[in-house]
Amino acid sequence: MSPEAGPPTNIAENPAVGMRWTMDLLHRYALRLVVAAEKAAAVAPDISKVKKYFILSTPRTGSTLLGLALERNGYGWPVEWFNPLYMQQVARVLGVAQLPFHDYLKTVILGTYNPALNVFGVNFHVQQYQLLQRQYGIDLFSQIGFDRGYFVQRRNKVKQAYSYAKSLKTGFWSRESEIEAGYRESVDAEVTPAEFARALSENLDAEDYARRELADRIDRDIAFDDLIGGKLGETLALIQADLGLPPQALESAIPTERQSTAFDEVQLHRLLANIGLPTS
């Protein structure tokens, strides 16, 4: 096992351990990306007419599930390539301190688009878009020129905020990294009312920004609640039609393991009661 032998004994008090496993996973993503980009570049493809789409969301809304389903069906590899942590790992693989954004973007497109369908997709959070714009003056929409855009949201903002606060506290952002760390079941963590409130406020602020500033970029709203409620196949078919892709049988039975636990339900009930909010 790596990066450490055995799971930590108290993940709630040691989020750095979870982040080390998360970064190990992202490093493998970066290796896969760079290898694929180098192979694609060797044949000098024309990517000027690639159909480009984005998945925009706030944390813990199920955008990763949608991205996985799109990847399974050949619609690129739409993960969070504009997450600073992903960008750091790609630079590390390439052996540079920082990669110019133009070069990074070319690497991402070459390494993730599907030449057979001529389609590229990427998933990013509102907060990641804002960070790039604020700190580096990079506007993803003007840089990439997307053809279609999708906003994934979660109707139950309370459970979303709890999930976000828990991941911030544990450092684990996927069941995959928990399993690699040695956890047969999802990790548990005690989320405080203050941590919950901060996560809720951040996500609400980010969604409000998207609705106010980015509404003209978004073609469809997609609800996490619908994706896990049996409408994933229908959503994939809509995206297929939006992008003008050839009709094909779509795989919508995506095997995933949820990170929520029975402890989370009890913890959330107590947390809501503690701050005077309805618990049902």
The β-bridge relationship of strands 220-223 and 51-57 is unpaired
pLDDT tens track for 251-260? 988 877 778 8
Contact 89, 157 (CB under 8 A): no
Q: Which overall architecture, per CATH, does domain 11-274 show?
A: 3-Layer(aba) Sandwich (3.40)
State the sign of the Cα–Cα–Cα–Cα dihedral 19, 25, 28, 29: negative
Q: Please state, as a whole number, how many other Cβ atoms lie within 10 Å of the Cβ of residue 279.
A: 11
Q: Please state, as a whole number, how many other Cβ atoms lie within 10 Å of the Cβ of residue 61.
A: 28
Instruction: Give the pLDDT confidence score for residue 189 in this predicted structure.
Output: 86
Q: Where are the domains of the chain?
A: 11-274
DSSP state of 97: S
* Residue whose entry in the numeric block shows the structure tokens 């990074």: 104
Contact 169, 15 (CB under 8 A): yes
CB contact burial 11-29 (16+ within 10 A = b; e otherwise)? beeebebbbbbbbbbbbeb
* Token representation of residue 203: 């996500």
Contact 219, 235 (CB under 8 A): no
Question: What is the pLDDT confidence band of residue 140, given thresholds at 50, 70 and 90?
Answer: very high
Question: What mean pLDDT do residues 108-120 have?
Answer: 96
Contact 114, 76 (CB under 8 A): yes
pLDDT tens track for 191-223? 999 999 999 999 999 999 999 999 999 999 999
DSSP string covering 212-275: HHSGGG-SEEEEHHHIIIIIHHHHHHHHHHHTTPPP--------------HHHHHHHHHHHHHT
Contact 239, 53 (CB under 8 A): yes
Contacts of 190 (CB under 8 A, 6+ apart): 12, 267
Question: What mean pLDDT do residues 40-46 have?
Answer: 90
pTM of the model: 0.91
